[in-house]
Structure 1
């Protein structure tokens, strides 16, 4: 295998994804498989595994879950402790990397997202893993507005320590011949950021700026998991060093999100009688931890063309926001009722 020149600050490493079409079969290791996205990926892989030639699923996480699916093998390891990764990739054909730290501690962002990814890639290379798929974030592009942009049309400009470290992780994966997915706003069962943030923001500031008709790329976590599983199953090597936007092709106006919160969760409709500047000042007073970047994600256009992913795996992207949100509304109602303090996103 011909080495690639590394952009990640490490020595050049051999490319992944250079095997035969049969590489799509075999054991799949999901790093971060107990998290929001990772658990959905594990569920999707397990549901289709028996009939689609994926006989084994391994989950790499820092903690072993209390209740364990016998069809899934759990591997306990910590990305910040490379020695614990030893042996975690033995017998694995495809590594799906969904683990991430999205808090505000720059040192931990670097340790988990960048250095942890490098350590995991080294172990994958040592074990002979054929394919690597990394679930990153469209927040590596930074603040918008972004409108109908395709992969390769924007120069990444991350605005947070978490996004900067995840961009470096992306580069390491691409240097090694892996595949990167960039979702933007992900919602559904397990969502602790997007919908809870909007709901609790409205509880603190029951208004919405009249001039903020933002359209955003969104994807249900179950559909994101289908996209990942589709790439795992896809034969061939067309995805080497490739980036895909992972979203429903149709952007969602923020007004539709506010309507869904009212219709399904009983939240009051916010007043729309304030300017963007006045609203930002109100939010700054009520939730001072809320950064300008996080505010922009909810009030500016951030939508990205994502047809390539669905064309590649030959699947429909799903019914879209309204239908998918309705499917998870009961979970959101229970989740929001169970938290007494406002949720402040850690950084994306």
Structure 2
């Protein structure tokens, strides 16, 4: 029997891939939610229906979930002031869930972020009994959004690093950090990551799944990637001078005048490895390529993107402190990795 699926955040990095994955399923009829009628419609010309509603305007959500079997909630706000983050991530999700329940939606799938756990270390950690300790407004409001979904019997997917075509945060943020330092980092810590296409397929499979699912699932490739390997992959695109990589301690010393760079180094220097085997088994999906291989497959996207900003080696003293901190932030699942 065909199922009607609503995708929120259809114009976003992950949302676009979720729409594409849903459109490949003969059993799915897809409805896209866009906030603005002026936004360019993703997948124009497809069989998907486009509707306009704003999470910050509950009245606009009336009827959004009519005749809908499942909602895949990808919409979120990453940056901004606390009030804006709360309006979209917390209150907006609550309004969406309320509308879904009024319309009898049977399945709500929310793509959240492992940033709700805060700073690690995490090594092979499963969701059971793992406490939340979000330390930024973005991750706190995402955790609040989770509570609304879980209270309605929905399913929460928590990826860590999401990479792939369309990513403007994870690898670009790392590239900015390496430009700031002028070389690489030698750091053996481990991070979970997932190809955005595999994550999208997983979300669609969860929406179409007939049997009960665990409330919270980690959604990463089962095999983590080391910070050193991740850095080497990005260095290959940047053409940085061939210098010996810095130790984490030395990199932290050189970045002392850049709060954002210090934040990224603190995160990269801490294990964020989450046990993600169960979700792929439960839904019968492939986790896609291991991160080291998967990242290479997106060279066509990352190559030009990572080479756009000029190389700015680290400088000490007043001139360096007056410069802006390393540009883009490291983000995960559309959410900032500033736990």
- Shorter chain as denominator, the TM-score bin is 0.7 to 0.9
CA distance 1:344–1:261, shift in 2 (3 Å): closer
Q: Does 1:173 align with 2:149?
A: yes
Task: After TM superposition, give the deviation of residue 153 of structure 1 in Å.
Answer: 3.4
Conserved 8 A contact 2:163-2:194: yes
- Alpha-carbon distance, 1:208 to partner: 4.2
Alignment of 1:143-158 (within 5 A): 143-158=119-134
Matched with 1:281 is: 253
TM normalised by structure 1 equals 0.84
Answering whether residue 44 of structure 2 is matched by residue 72 of structure 1, we say no
Counterparts of 1:123 and 1:28 in 2: how far apart (Å)? 14
TM-score by length of 2: 0.87
Shift of 1:321: 1.3
1:303 paired residue number:
273
Q: Is 1:30–2:2 an aligned residue pair?
A: no
* RMSD, aligned α-carbons: 2.1
* Cα separation, partners in 2 of 1:90 and 1:70, compared to 1, 3 Å: same
- Structure-2 change in CA distance of 1:253 and 1:289 (3 Å): closer
Contact 1:262 1:269 in 2 (8 A): no
Structure 1 residue corresponding to 2:219, chosen from 226, 230, 246? 246
Q: CA deviation at 1:264?
A: 5.1
Distance 1:257 1:70, change over 3 A: same
Contact 1:290 1:344 in 2 (8 A): no
Q: 3-state DSSP class of the match of 1:344?
A: coil
**Structure 1 segments of 4+ aligned residues over 6 angstroms from their partners:** none
Three-state SS of the structure 1 residue aligned to 2:297 is helix
Structure 1 273/146 Cα, relative in aligned 2: closer, same or farther at 3 Å? Answer: same
Tell me how far 1:209 sits from its aligned partner: 4.6
Map 1:73-88 onto structure 2 (within 5 A): 73-88=49-64
Residue aligned with 1:244, SS: strand
TM-aligned CA deviation for residue 338 of structure 1? 4.3
Verify: 1:204 aligned to 2:180, yes or no: yes
Which runs of structure 2 are paired with 1:14-29 in the superposition (5 Å)? 25-29=2-6
**Selected match of 1:57 from 22, 30, 41:** 30
Are 2:305 and 1:335 equivalent residues in the alignment?
yes
Deviation at 1:62, TM superposition (A): 1.1
Displacement after TM superposition at 1:271 (Å): 3.1
Q: Gaps spanning 5+ residues in structure 2: where?
A: 311-323
What is the number of residues matched between the two proteins? 315
Q: Could you tell me how far apart the structure 2 residues matched to 1:133 and 1:338 are?
A: 36
Among 16, 40, 47, the residue aligned to 1:39: 16
2:85 — aligned with what? 109
- Contact kept in structure 1, 2:184 and 2:232, CA below 8 Å: no
- Residue 82 (structure 1) shift: 0.9
1:112, 1:284 → 2: CA distance? 34
Aligned to 1:7: none
Matches of 1:79 and 1:269, distance apart in 2 = 48
Cα deviation for residue 133 of structure 1 reads 0.3
> What is the deviation of 1:203?
0.9
Shift of 1:335: 2.2
Q: How far apart are residue 61 of structure 1 and its match?
A: 1.8
Q: 1:76 & 1:291 partners in 2: Cα distance? A: 40
* Unmatched tracts of structure 1, length 5 or more: 1-21
Q: Separation in 2 of the partners of 1:34 and 1:112? A: 15
Measured after TM superposition, the shift of residue 169 of structure 1 is 0.7
Deviations 1:124-174 (A, max 9, x none): 111111110000000101001111111113211111110011111101111
